[in-house]
Amino acid sequence: MKQSLYIIKVGGNIIDDEKKLNHFLESFASLNEQKILVHGGGKLATKLAEKLNIPQQMVEGRRITDAETLKITTMVYAGYINKTIVAKLNSLDSPAIGISGADASCIMAHKRIHQEIDFGFVGDIDKVNPAIFQTMLEKKLSIVVAPITQDNNGQLLNTNADTIAQEIAKSLSNFFDTTLIYSFEKKGVLLDVDDEKTLVPTITTEIFNQLKNEGKIFAGMIPKIENALQATGAGVKNVIIGDALDLISLVTGNSGTSISS
């Protein structure tokens, strides 16, 4: 029988709020199962870029990453945020190790190719090395993953954290009963982002296509659901989208939006 494994991605708005982040990490630390935490960067990278007078550009919710912005995202994501989370988990008696996708070549990527937009040093994932993660999990370590990867030429790349979480979950689904949780500041997928009563409890591919065609899903949620559907189609046991501050309820399947292909 496979062991349970939780891959949990926490969104930027939670990271930006110290009180909320601490609440989330306390819940994460309390989970007895093996677990991996993937985090985004929040607004800190943007604030630091502004202080350094480095212009920032976002396209379709994705950061254009030029050479100077790459330095900032690497410092902030793989440095300050990652190690702050690790230190907090260790203080909660949850032994943790912080890595990025570049460490031990655990996540390999290539520079994004787009016909119309130059995303700069943004990476799209080629493969995940599950053995690296298995080794750390066998040591009973919680793994905290920053969204920085590398290519075969040693070039660092800024990579979407939702996609990293999905690819890790898929790569480990042959070895564990994997549950992928996308946690952020909302209760789940909402038809009205300002009304929690409009929560959609379950989404299948058919329901997703219908809601998207009807314009009932806000743009920022579409790639998250697409990632979730890809994960379930590739062997991930459960995918749930919901409130980071209600993590235990998400883990037990009592809240959020459940995704199934």
Q: Give the pLDDT score at 74.
A: 96
pTM of the model: 0.94
Q: Give the pLDDT score at 166.
A: 95
The 8-class DSSP code of residue 65 comes to B
Q: Give the pLDDT score at 61.
A: 61
**CATH assignment, 3-259:** 3.40.1160.10
**CA dihedral (184, 185, 190, 191) positive or negative:** negative
Q: Give the pLDDT score at 164.
A: 96
Alpha-helix residue ranges (DSSP H) falling in 116-190? 130-138, 161-172
Give ∠ CA 90-101-7 in degrees, rounded to 5.
Answer: 60
The end-to-end CA distance of the chain, in Å, is: 23
Q: Give the pLDDT score at 117.
A: 84
Q: Give the pLDDT score at 216.
A: 85
Q: Give the pLDDT score at 58.
A: 76
46-to-5, 51, 204 alpha-carbon distances in Å: 33, 9, 35
Is the CB of residue 32 less than 8 Å from the CB of residue 140? Answer: no
Q: Give the pLDDT score at 90.
A: 98
| Intervals of the chain under pLDDT 50 | none
Q: Give the pLDDT score at 43.
A: 85
